[in-house]
Amino acid sequence: MNTMSKVEVICFYGPESTGKTIMAKRFADIYTTKFVPEVAREFITTNNFTVAGIIKIGKAQFAGIQESLPLAHKYLFCDTDLITTQIYSKHYLNVVPPVLFELEKMLKIDKYFLFDIDVPWIADGLRDLGDFRQEMFNIFKKELQIRNIESTHVRGTYAEREETIRRELEKS
């Protein structure tokens, strides 16, 4: 737990179109607290972006979490994290700017929920990895394993996902 803020930072983590945004908003409402959206959606309209652009996204994601922490109660729900920014940087640009690793190290996430791909993929004009869902899920999972980060596997219907998250949060 973040000792300064007394707020647990919760990351909903995984490939696109797995329900992270829906759940982040839902749990922020349930706990009357804040959630931090995926800021990349504020900066890009296509997946053709630059290294400078991905750095801007990473810094904005970090800032969004830092700015929301003092306003949150008990939990701060994050729709994504800096590991995710790194994964997409590597995927689309074939490089990860070192600043993204530096920002990741400065950010303390207390609990990760890894969202599975077992819900329908929904195109939204920006999502373009529907044919690579299993590959992307494996990459997300591997990045947690490399860092020795424990996570709760979230799968099933949206109701089942919500119940899994609720049960895990009640343990803390």
31 inside domain = yes
Look up the CATH number of the domain holding residue 65: 3.40.50.300
| 90-112: average pLDDT | 95
Query: How much is the pLDDT for 128?
Result: 58
What are 12-57's pLDDT values in tens digits?
A: 999 988 999 999 999 999 999 999 998 765 655 555 678 998 999 9
Mean pLDDT rounded to a whole number for the chain = 89
3-state secondary structure the chain: CCCCCCCEEEEEECCCCCCHHHHHHHHHHHCCCEEECCCHHHHCCCCCCCHHHHHHHHHHHHHHHHHHHHHCECEEEECCCHHHHHHHHHHHHCCCCHHHHHHHHHCCCCEEEEECCCCCCCCCCCCCCHHHHHHHHHHHHHHHHHCCCCEEEECCCHHHHHHHHHHHHHCC
Better-scored residue on pLDDT, 172 or 15:
15
Residue 148 lies in a domain: yes
pLDDT digits (tens, 9 = 90+) for 74-87: 999 999 999 999 99
* pTM to 2 decimal places: 0.88
Measure the CA–CA gap between 70 and 64, rounded to whole angstroms.
Answer: 11
Average confidence (pLDDT) over 50-66? 93
74 contacts: CB under 8 Å, gap ≥ 6? 7, 8, 31, 33
Per-residue pLDDT, averaged over 64-91, amounts to 94
Q: Domain count of the chain?
A: 1
Report if residue 71 sits inside a domain: yes
The span from the CA of 53 to the CA of 46, in Å, is: 12
Kindly state whether residue 111 falls inside one of the protein's structural domains. Answer: yes
Structural domain that includes position 78: 8-170
| Pair 92, 47: CB distance under 8 Å | yes
112-139: average pLDDT: 80
Domain contains 2:
no
